[in-house]
Amino acid sequence: MSTRPIAPALLALASILALGCGAQDPVQPSSLAGVSPAATVVADQAAAGASAVADLPPFDPGNFVTGVDNPRFPLPLGRRLIYKGTEDGEPETVITDVTRDHKTILGVSVVVVLDRVFLSGKLKEKTFDWYAQDRQGNVWYFGEDTKEFENGRVVTTAGSFEAGKHGAQAGIIMRVHPKFGQITPQEFAPGVAEDKARIIGLDATVTVPYGTVRHCLKTAEFTDLEPDAVEYKLYCPGIGIARERDVRGGTVQTALTRIVSR
């Protein structure tokens, strides 16, 4: 769930407008003179982050169910989602597998999801993500075990964390009743992973190679650890993430091409 760094602020602002959030976004600075547009938006998000943390439902290990079936973030065991895209002009493939592995964190049985990123056919990143759903329908995020590769060798595990260890806590990846403008902490590992998501659209339609999907949720995801980092995602009913886009010197974007049940 790591948010990738972006680069030029104007490109980031263009990405916001491309997703159609401009007129809906309640944050509209009266003056941009001498101020980075992207930085202004992210600064406002970060400022609101404290109240969002306080707004999280109480964490109760006894309040979780088996499996994850939130309509905008379902994780049926055995499902594989395949994404295609580009990173700085190179072809990128992302394969997401909802595994049948077992793991317990803070007394909660979590769903283990394997994400693999391939750049020009070579493995670039391999991550195990851990999710669980409470009885109300909120999907919580318990951390990740991530590795980045170069020439087939692990070069870093930065960003790895597990709720309950070294001050890390569980965040929420998808609320049961999301609201426009709401900011939710997704990752809560101080100094390691501090991603948050702001809802910038509640009823979007997106066309990807997989097909046209309606009633999707748009988010702008950012982190206090990289003040200029923003990633845009569309979460769609029955699917989860249908498209991702971020900018970091060049464009990085992926879109859902196929879903396989195994």
pLDDT value, residue 54: 42
Output 221 or 52, whichever has higher pLDDT. 221
φ/ψ (deg, to 5) at 50: -60, -45
Tens of pLDDT, residue by residue over 216-226, are 999 999 988 88
Tens-place pLDDT, residues 27-36: 222 222 332 3
pTM: 0.81
CA distance 16 to 207: 17
User: Taking residues 53-82, what's their average pLDDT?
Assistant: 92
Query: What is the chain's mean pLDDT, rounded?
Result: 83
| pLDDT(175) > 50 | yes
Cα–Cα distance between 202 and 181 in angstroms, integer? 10
Rounded Cα gap, residues 154 and 167, in angstroms: 25
DSSP 56: S
Query: What domains does the chain contain, in order, with CATH numbers?
Result: 9-27+35-261 (2.40.360)
Mean pLDDT value of segment 40-46: 46
Could you count the other beta carbons within 10 Å of the beta carbon of residue 158?
11
pLDDT level of residue 229 (50, 70, 90 thresholds): confident
Q: Which amino acid makes up residue 8? A: P
More confident residue, 205 or 3: 205
Higher pLDDT, 194 or 12: 194
Does residue 237 register a pLDDT over 60? Answer: yes
Rounded Cα distance between 197 and 221, Å, is 4
Give CA–CA dist 23/160, Å, rounded: 37
Residue 136 β-bridge partners: none
